[in-house]
Every structure is written in structure tokens, then in C-alpha cells.
Amino acid sequence: MTTIAFIGLGVMGSPMAVHLARAGHRVHGFNRSPGKSAPLVAAGGHAAGSVAEAVRDADVIAVMVPDSPDVEKVLAGDGGVLAHAKTGALIIDFSTIRPDVARSLAARAAADGFRMLDAPVSGGEVGAVNAALSIMVGGERREFEAAKPILGLVGKTVVHVGPSGAGQTVKAANQLMVAAHLQALSEAVVFLEANGVDTKAALQVLGGGLAGSKVLEQKCHNVLGRSFQPGFRINLHHKDLGIVISAARQVGVVLPIGAQLAQLMAHAVAVGDGDLDHSALLRGALRMSGREVD
């Protein structure tokens, strides 16, 4: 049994923390909105009143918050992890942030006597609920080996991909590919509907061939039913594509499709679709073709 602090109990963090509690670990969760702690408490965990309280006795500290500044505040801000956790604790950052920020925070954590991994996840809310996430882990191999029993409780595919920041780099590539699949799916649906094809049947047969993908498998019901209850919000994917473009610029890589996808995602935010699931890129594809948007 390990004492785990879990900071960030949102759409992804809450089910992840619940899995850890149900596995028998002592989990102390903190979220800025206290009501988000209810599922963890129901699973046998504890709701902390602050980051400092959550991490005080923790052997492992998990973080799942939206963006780079949020992680910096949780770790290095007033009342943060580095000021209040016990020396030697293992920090696992499940958030999706800039690779350079991940490297900087890992170096600072090490200087203060902590161990740190960047371990962003892919799989969305469904993956979190089913403990079937794909986790790409950056950091020292020995820290990865120490974290594997914890990571295996929330993820199905858990891979060490390199030193600090590597996990975030792989996650950026993941978000680029997912956005491309979503946009291609959106355009295909607009094309099929405009030609009067049975779209449900068409997606079924496309899913059985080379055009099949996890995106098609998991998001076809969204586009067919025009149901965009968020599993992963456009606002967050917009942020992630900003990370892709920034990281690509730092290493001198040209990503023409990535740049266009970033603009399409930015357009979705600008027209008010930011809080919808990222499959709502379909709405933008419909607008561009002059089709009705429900």
C-alpha cells in the first residue's frame, strides 16, 4: 500500500485516482473545485483541502492539470509540492505540457531532492474510466521502473520513451495525429452525406479497412449523432496543437498539416465550440461547405 497524492480530479484525473484507491492505495486528492473529490471519496480515498495537505505524507505525487502554467504553480508555486512534500517523493506528471517546461521542472525537482517523470496519457475519458490509457513516460529508467506498478493501474500501454521531456514530445506527436484523424473523419462525413450515402454503413466498412483507426472507432457515434458531450475538449486540443507548433519551431521542423490543423482548431474555439468534444471539428467542416450545423 502506497500513500499517493493526486492533484487534479477532472474528467481524466478523477477516474484515475479512483482506480488507485480501489487498488488499495491511500489516495489523498485535491481539486480546486471541492465537489470533484466525491467519486474518489466514494472509492475510499480522501479529499484534501490544499495541495500542501494532499502531499504532506505522500510517497507518490500524481498531477493531472490542464496546462504548463498550472503544473508550474502546483509544483513550484506558493503552497506547492516542492515546498511541502517529503524529500525523495516520486512525482508523476500526467498533464500534457510543453516538453521544455517538463525538462525544466524535472531539473528543479531533482535539485530539491525529488524524483520526477513526465507521463502524459492518451485515450480520453473512456480510456481513463476503463484504466486503458496509453502512457508515454519520460525520465530516468529507474524512476520509470519504480512507477510501473502505479502506472499499470491506470494504463494499458505503458512505455518509457526517453529522458525528461520525451513523454511530452511523444504526446505532442500523438495530438497532431489525433487531430489529423478527426479532421479527415469530419471531411469524410461531410463528403458522404453530400452524396446521399448511408453514412453509418459507410463508416462501418471504412473502419474495417485501412482507413480504420481508434479515432473512427471511438468517435463515429459522436459524428453520426451530432453528440459532442466532451470526452476531450476542443479547448484542450487547441492548447496541445500550440505545443506541437512551438516545439516544432524550437527544433526547426516544418509541419504544414500541423499548422493547418492548429488553425482549424483555433477557428472552432473562436466560434464558440471550445467546450465541445474535439470530434466537433465536424461542425467546422460543415460550415465550410455551407451545410447546416445542428
Instruction: Return mean pLDDT, the chain.
Output: 97
Q: Which fold has domain 169-288?
A: N-(1-d-carboxylethyl)-l-norvaline Dehydrogenase; domain 2 (1.10.1040)
- The rounded distance, in Å, linking the Cα atoms of 194 and 178 is 24
Q: 71 with 55: CB under 8 angstroms?
A: no
**91-139 per-position pLDDT tens digit:** 999 999 999 999 999 999 999 999 999 999 999 899 999 999 999 999 9
Q: First vs last Cα of the chain: how many Å apart? A: 50
The catalytic site residues sit at: 171
Query: What are the extents of the domains in the chain?
Result: 3-163, 169-288
**27-78 per-position pLDDT tens digit:** 999 998 888 999 999 999 999 999 999 999 999 999 999 999 999 999 999 9
Q: Is the pLDDT of residue 253 over 80?
A: yes
The DSSP 8-state label assigned to residue 37 in this structure reads: G
The predicted model gives 252-269 an average pLDDT of 98
Q: Is the pLDDT of residue 294 over 80?
A: no
Q: Which three cell numbers stand for residue 124?
A: 480520453
Q: Which fold has domain 3-163?
A: Rossmann fold (3.40.50)
Q: Which of 264, 268, 283, 133 is nearest to 223 (CA)?
A: 283
Alpha helices by DSSP H, the chain: 13-22, 38-42, 51-55, 68-76, 81-84, 99-111, 124-129, 141-154, 166-194, 199-207, 214-225, 234-250, 256-270, 281-288
According to the model, what pLDDT value does residue 33 have? 86
- Non-local (6+) Cβ contacts of 246 within 8 A are 98
pTM higher than 0.85: yes
